[in-house]
Amino acid sequence: MKYIAEFFMNLPDLYKGNHQDTKSTKNTKRKLHSNHSVLGALGVLVVSLLVLALTGGCIAKSPIQGKQHPSFLDLTSRFFAPGARLKGSGTGTFDPHYPVVRKGERRDTMLLIAPVTAKAEIGGIEGSYFLEALCTQVFNTGDGIQMDIYLTERGERRKVYGRYFDAGRRAEDRDWVPVSVPLILGKARDSQVEIEASAGPQGDLTSDWLALSSVRLVPGKEAR
Instruction: Name the residues that contact Ca ion, by CB under 5 A.
Output: 142-143, 199-200, 204, 208
Please say which residue, 84 or 199, places its beta carbon nearer to Ca ion: 199
CB of 210 to Ca ion, least distance (A): 10
Least distance to Ca ion from the beta carbon of 170, Å? 14
Can you tell me the distance from the alpha carbon of 148 to that of 194, in angstroms, rounded to the nearest whole number?
8
Cβ at position 140, least distance to Ca ion in Å: 11
The CA-atom distances, in angstroms, between 95 and each of 26, 65, 75, 111, 201 are 87, 38, 14, 5, 24
| Comparison of 75 and 111: residue with beta carbon closer to Ca ion | 111
Q: What is the DSSP string of 124-170?
A: T-EEEEEEEEEEEES-S-TT-EEEEEEEEETTEEEEEEEEEE-TTT-
DSSP notation for 11-61:
HHHHHSS--S--HHHHHHHHHHHHHHHHHHHHHHHHHHHHHHHHHHHHHHH
Q: Which is nearer to Ca ion, 131 or 199 (CB)?
A: 199
Q: Smaller CB distance to Ca ion: residue 199 or 211?
A: 199
CB of 79 to Ca ion, least distance (A): 21
Shortest distance (Å) from residue 95 CB to Ca ion: 18
Which residue lies nearer to Ca ion by CB, 140 or 152?
140
Residue whose beta carbon is closest to Ca ion: 200
